[in-house]
């Protein structure tokens, strides 16, 4: 085998990644394969070292430098793997370990039977254009080598299985396998690539077994059965959380959450989402394993079909088109959201395969690139690995209305924002600020606060590490709900600004809008649910504060470091900029008085007078000559007339 005790894979621990910082340890039982789904076989696209790593320079030399800063160690990414297979800077195909092998990856999501994220080491193979057999065969062999090494390291039978909730799951499988077994989300990898070159997960298991046999390795795996799902937990149940529990992403559950009873919003396999507190004082949206939950009150509102079929809403193109299915949901609103995200042709089917919803394209006020809302519904629901604690029920010491009838618009304020942004981003398009200045008052929204929100969301409009790009004209992350979803796109600056302002209006007011709504997520907001900017924490942004820096919302709030408070801080920075009349004149030039149509070019009086006098003399002489000619002409005519009459 290529790898062993004295020849371990290259390590580049991505300690700054979201997954590395937020996951937990696990008991290893298998290996799960992914492929990236993008035509870029280079490791540097995804893997870069910690900024403070002692061997950073050496690793950059081997991997190559990611010049765009969009590697998974430098952007917020609710996904993470234990290692990657792809090309180094010199073109060599190899494996790079990015997390300890026993760190639980955030790779395959979850299904109705649980998640292979718990127990399976996972890696990505960097795809190319899918047609180069030389690269494929090299990458495939490397994947088999690292899998054989892991099987030997953790005593894994490559042809074995693990029992989860009574269902046998192969020890070696891919993302698509996990989905079919109800243990992962619906992705096609690796079957979008392997069959093109005559390979499958069956051949992979066989090839790994051959490598182990040639190495003389023997595996005698123990009888493994993962903890069972607590199937007694149902939607709308009131539950209590066990002491010492962790959220689904591995982070410890705070003591104040454990001390409170919670209402279950949804359940999928061993993953439950707890939402509102029983006393109604708090609202969170936090995934947690059902094994930590005990039912305090069983919901009387849960309805289950009498035929024993699980109550799920499936999103697909037709009843029989199973391959088109994008998901199955216990909550109808979530299924509708996914249907809108899937686009034309998709429908929502209930458990009896009756159509209960169909995708309808939005009708924008102005021509905009078609955009569809992407699950989940408002308030912004987290993906599997996000712990969300809403902070909007707390009493903020400073409150600023989102929709304020007394809002004013000043040219100097607009220029303050332009100057401040340009000082941080010299390539900034100032027309964006002008659009906020022009459009915000129509919605009774302070343009400076709206601009401050965009600065926070876009990083001073640089979009560094963001899935949203400048060309999308999306200045607040609309529709960018995690897991690489790039968010909504708009054709013009004005359309993007309008969508953001309408979304803010939806949060801050219950009043109707008389104009056509172009915000594709307007309908998912509970109208008027956040009167103040500070109340957007836990709604527009979840959880609305840095959970690594603060263990409770109250502490984040006292430090003025929640989402809405950050917007106010940026606002204060903008308003503190000094502008002079020349600055305002540069961006708002005063109109010049209109010139008379008869005097397009003015001539000094001292020049005009002689010219006029000279012209008058010429005209007088010419007039006298003409009069003399006419006089003689009439005399001649009269003489001829007299002769003719005789």
* Model confidence at 429: pLDDT above 60: yes
Quote the number of domains for the chain: 5
Residue-wise pLDDT tens digits, 83-93? 999 999 999 99
Query: Which residues face 252 on adjacent strands?
Result: 246
Mean pLDDT of the chain: 81
How far, rounded to the nearest angstrom, does the alpha carbon of residue 405 sit from its chain's CA centroid?
31
| DSSP designation for 247 | B
Q: What are phi and psi of 61, to 5 degrees?
A: -65, -40
Residue-wise pLDDT tens digits, 615-629? 555 556 676 777 777
* Model confidence at 606: pLDDT above 50: no
* Model confidence at 317: pLDDT above 80: yes
* Model confidence at 132: pLDDT above 90: yes
What is residue 85's three-state secondary structure? strand
| DSSP designation for 375 | S
State whether 437 and 564 are in the same domain: yes
State whether 60 and 115 are in the same domain: yes
- Tell me which residue of 3, 22, 6, 26 sits closest to 14, measured CA to CA: 22
pLDDT of residue 328: 75
Mean pLDDT of 577-585: 88
Query: How many Cβ atoms sit within 10 Å of the Cβ of residue 353?
Result: 11
Please state the three-class secondary structure of 576-626 as a single string.
CCCCCHHHHHHHCCCCCCCCCCCCCCCCCHHHHHHHHHHHHHHHHHHHHHH
State whether 516 and 403 are in the same domain: yes
pLDDT of residue 390: 43
pLDDT of residue 486: 76
Is residue 97 domain-resident?
yes
Mean pLDDT of 57-73: 93
- Tell me which residue of 249, 251, 287 sits closest to 80, measured CA to CA: 249
State whether 251 and 350 are in the same domain: no
Choose one of 172, 204, 226: the last residue of a domain. 226
Q: Is 490 exposed, middle or buried (CB count within 10 Å of its CB: 0-12, 13-18, 19+)?
A: buried
More confident residue, 593 or 161: 161
pLDDT of residue 335: 75
pLDDT bracket for residue 337 (50, 70, 90): low
* Model confidence at 312: pLDDT above 80: no
User: How many Å apart are CA 547 and CA 550, to the nearest integer?
Assistant: 5
* Residues ≥6 apart with Cβ < 8 Å to 271: 110, 114, 115, 248, 287, 288, 289, 290, 384
| DSSP designation for 638 | H
pLDDT of residue 36: 92
Mean pLDDT of 334-347: 75
Q: What are phi and psi of 600, to 5 degrees?
A: -65, -35
Residue-wise pLDDT tens digits, 434-467? 999 999 988 999 999 999 999 999 999 998 878 8
Query: Which residues face 289 on adjacent strands?
Result: 271
State whether 247 and 213 are in the same domain: no
pLDDT of residue 285: 77
How far, rounded to the nearest angstrom, does the alpha carbon of residue 191 sit from its chain's CA centroid?
26
pLDDT of residue 461: 93
Choose one of 174, 197, 226: the last residue of a domain. 226
Q: What are phi and psi of 181, to 5 degrees?
A: -90, 5
State whether 124 and 157 are in the same domain: yes
pLDDT of residue 70: 87
pLDDT bracket for residue 431 (50, 70, 90): very high
| DSSP designation for 157 | -
Note whether 13 and 54 are within 8 A (CB): no
Mean pLDDT of 252-275: 83
pLDDT of residue 137: 97
Is residue 4 domain-resident?
no
More confident residue, 375 or 407: 407
Note whether 439 and 501 are within 8 A (CB): yes
pLDDT bracket for residue 75 (50, 70, 90): confident
Is residue 308 domain-resident?
no
Residue-wise pLDDT tens digits, 360-396? 654 333 333 333 333 333 333 333 333 333 444 555 5
Task: Give the pTM.
Answer: 0.45
**DSSP code string of 433-495:** HHHHHHHGGGGT--HHHHHHHHHHHHTTTT-TT-SS-GGGT-SS-TT--BTTB-----SSHHH
What is residue 50's three-state secondary structure? coil
* Model confidence at 575: pLDDT above 50: yes
Mean pLDDT of 99-103: 95
pLDDT bracket for residue 269 (50, 70, 90): low
State whether 256 and 211 are in the same domain: no
Q: Is 605 exposed, middle or buried (CB count within 10 Å of its CB: 0-12, 13-18, 19+)?
A: exposed
Q: What is the CATH number of the domain that holds 79?
A: 3.40.80.10
Residue-wise pLDDT tens digits, 482-538? 656 778 898 889 999 999 999 999 999 999 887 889 999 888 888 888 888 988 887
* Model confidence at 194: pLDDT above 80: yes
Is residue 532 domain-resident?
yes
Mean pLDDT of 398-417: 86
Which of the residue ranges 260-274, 413-427, 479-493 has the most confident prediction, judged by mean pLDDT? 413-427
State whether 15 and 53 are in the same domain: yes
Is residue 610 domain-resident?
yes
Helices (H), 268-348: 332-342
Mean pLDDT of 157-172: 90
Q: Is 276 exposed, middle or buried (CB count within 10 Å of its CB: 0-12, 13-18, 19+)?
A: middle
Taken as a whole, the chain contains a residue count of 646
User: How many Å apart are CA 349 and CA 573, to the nearest integer?
Assistant: 51
Is residue 377 domain-resident?
no
pLDDT of residue 386: 32
State whether 319 and 341 are in the same domain: yes
Is residue 363 domain-resident?
no
Query: How many Cβ atoms sit within 10 Å of the Cβ of residue 67?
Result: 7
State whether 536 and 635 are in the same domain: no
* Model confidence at 595: pLDDT above 70: no
* Model confidence at 229: pLDDT above 70: no
State whether 215 and 124 are in the same domain: yes
User: How many Å apart are CA 451 and CA 477, to the nearest integer?
Assistant: 13
State whether 220 and 261 are in the same domain: no
Is residue 366 domain-resident?
no
More confident residue, 303 or 99: 99
Structure tokens at 320: 């029989």
Mean pLDDT of 16-31: 90
What is residue 269's three-state secondary structure? coil
More confident residue, 62 or 626: 62
Task: Give the whole-number percent of the chain exceeding pLDDT 90.
Answer: 38
Domain that holds residue 271: 238-297
- Tell me which residue of 81, 143, 69 sits closest to 107, measured CA to CA: 81
* Model confidence at 572: pLDDT above 80: yes
Instruction: Look up tokens 């870029």; give the residue.
Output: 40
- Strand 93-97 and strand 10-11: the pairing is parallel
């Amino acid at each position: 085998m290529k790898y062993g005790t004295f020849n371990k894979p290259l390590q580049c621990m991505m300690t700054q990644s979201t997954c590395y910082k937020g996951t937990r340890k696990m008991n290893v039982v298998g290996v799960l394969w992914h492929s990236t789904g993008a035509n870029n076989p280079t490791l540097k696209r995804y893997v870069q070292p910690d900024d403070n790593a002692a061997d950073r320079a050496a690793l950059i030399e081997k991997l190559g430098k990611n010049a765009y800063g969009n590697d998974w160690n430098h952007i917020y990414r609710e996904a993470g793997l234990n290692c990657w297979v792809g090309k180094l800077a010199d073109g060599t195909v190899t494996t790079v370990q990015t997390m300890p092998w026993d760190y639980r990856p955030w790779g395959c999501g979850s299904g109705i039977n649980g998640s292979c994220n718990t127990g399976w080491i996972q890696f990505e193979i960097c795809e190319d254009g899918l047609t180069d057999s030389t690269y494929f065969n090299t990458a495939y062999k490397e994947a088999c080598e690292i899998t054989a090494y892991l099987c030997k390291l953790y005593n894994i039978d490559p042809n074995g299985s693990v029992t989860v909730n009574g269902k046998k799951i192969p020890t070696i499988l891919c993302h698509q396998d996990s989905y079919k077994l109800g243990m992962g989300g619906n992705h096609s990898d690796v079957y979008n690539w392997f069959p093109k070159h005559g390979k499958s997960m069956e051949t992979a298991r066989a090839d790994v077994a051959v490598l182990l046999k040639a190495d003389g390795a023997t595996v005698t795996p123990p009888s493994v059965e993962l903890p069972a799902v607590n199937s007694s937990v149902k939607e709308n149940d009131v539950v209590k959380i066990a002491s010492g529990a962790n959220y689904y992403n591995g982070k410890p559950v705070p003591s104040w959450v454990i001390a409170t009873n919670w209402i279950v919003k949804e359940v999928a396999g061993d993953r439950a989402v707890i939402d509102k507190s029983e006393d109604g004082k708090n609202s969170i949206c936090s995934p947690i394993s059902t094994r930590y939950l005990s039912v305090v009150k069983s919901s009387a509102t849960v309805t289950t079909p009498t035929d024993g079929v699980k109550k799920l809403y499936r999103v697909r193109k037709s009843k029989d088109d199973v391959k088109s299915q994008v998901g199955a949901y216990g909550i109808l609103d979530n299924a509708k959201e996914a249907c809108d995200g899937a686009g034309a042709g998709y429908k929502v089917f209930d458990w009896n395969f009756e159509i209960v919803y169909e995708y309808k394209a939005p009708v924008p006020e102005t021509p905009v690139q078609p955009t569809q809302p992407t699950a989940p519904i408002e308030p912004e629901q987290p993906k599997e690995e996000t712990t969300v604690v809403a902070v909007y029920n707390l009493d903020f010491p400073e409150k600023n209305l989102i929709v304020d009838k007394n809002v004013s618009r000043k040219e100097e304020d607009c220029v303050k924002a332009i100057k401040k942004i340009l000082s941080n981003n010299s390539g900034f398009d100032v027309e964006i600020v002008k659009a906020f200045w022009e459009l915000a008052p129509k919605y009774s929204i302070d343009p400076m606060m709206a601009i401050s929100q965009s600065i926070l969301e876009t990083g001073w409009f640089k979009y560094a590490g963001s899935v949203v790009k400048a060309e999308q004209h999306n200045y607040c992350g609309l529709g960018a709900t995690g897991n690489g979803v790039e968010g909504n796109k708009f054709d013009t600056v004005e359309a993007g600004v309008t969508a953001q302002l309408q979304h803010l209006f939806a949060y801050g007011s219950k009043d109707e809008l008389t104009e056509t709504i172009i915000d594709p997520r307007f309908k998912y907001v509970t109208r008027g649910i956040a009167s103040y900017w500070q109340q957007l924490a836990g709604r527009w942004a979840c959880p609305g504060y840095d959970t690594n820096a603060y263990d409770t919302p109250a502490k984040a709030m006292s430090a003025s470091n929640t989402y809405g408070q950050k917007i106010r801080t940026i606002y204060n920075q903008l308003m503190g900029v000094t502008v002079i009349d020349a600055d305002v004149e540069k961006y708002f030039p005063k109109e010049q008085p209109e010139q008379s149509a008869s005097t397009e070019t003015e001539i000094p009086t001292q020049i005009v007078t002689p010219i006029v006098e000279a012209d008058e003399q010429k005209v007088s002489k010419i007039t006298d000559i003409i009069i003399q000619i006419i006089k003689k002409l009439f005399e001649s005519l009269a003489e001829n007339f007299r002769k003719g009459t005789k």
